[in-house]
Copies of this chain bind each other. A is one copy, B any other.
Amino acid sequence: MSEIQPIGFVKSPYTETSQIPKGCGASHEAEGVLEIEPEFEEGLTDIEGFSHLFVIWVFHKVEGYSLLGTPPTDNRPHGVFATRSPFRPSPIGLTVVELIRRDGSRLHVRGVDMVDGTPILDIKPYLSSIPQEKLRRGWLAEAEERRSK
């Protein structure tokens, strides 16, 4: 197995996971900073040109996993790989953030949904989107429809 290592840590306004908005309609407008280790700063060259980034990170406060779980957006259980549950066999998180500005090895971003101190494994540019009309959203769309009735 190749070495997976943190490249930095998230500076977030959320000090407890319970403070993070969850579920449908949860708005992720919180601003935070991706504090990249200075030794990796050169790897951020030209990142300013991108409006959005993928952040791959670790659910470092979570222990264990659950293959089935009932998400806050539904009252029925679903498989962990069909949800964003933190209780995953590999406790990896993925968040799309908007890049506000870069300050050396610090990336100021909007849309953090991680707790303060979260280890960052990787950052990638967000290059393209699947058109909305091509997306099917399974149980989530069904749960939203049930709720709107």
Residues of A within 8 A of B (CB): 1-7, 36, 40, 42-52, 54, 56, 58-60, 62-63, 67-68, 77-84, 88-92, 94, 96, 119, 121-132, 134-142
A129 touches B135 (CB 8 A): yes
Do most interface residues of chain A lie in helix, strand or loop, or is the interface mixed? Answer: mixed
| 25 A-B pairs (CB sep. < 8 Å) | A1-B60, A2-B59, A4-B4, A4-B58, A4-B90, A5-B89, A7-B89, A44-B81, A45-B77, A46-B139, A47-B81, A49-B136, A49-B138, A49-B139, A49-B142, A50-B82, A52-B134, A52-B135, A83-B125, A84-B125, A89-B122, A125-B138, A125-B140, A126-B130, A129-B129
B residues near A134, Cβ cutoff 8 Å: 51-52
**Could you say which residues of chain B place their CB within 8 Å of the CB of A3?**
90-91
The answer to whether B79 and A47 touch across the interface, beta carbons within 8 angstroms, is yes
Instruction: Say yes or no: A47 contacts B94, CB within 8 Å.
Output: no
Supposing A119-B1, A129-B129 touch, asked if A43 and B89 sit within 8 A by C-beta, the answer is: yes
Q: How far is the CB of A76 from chain B (nearest CB, A)?
A: 9
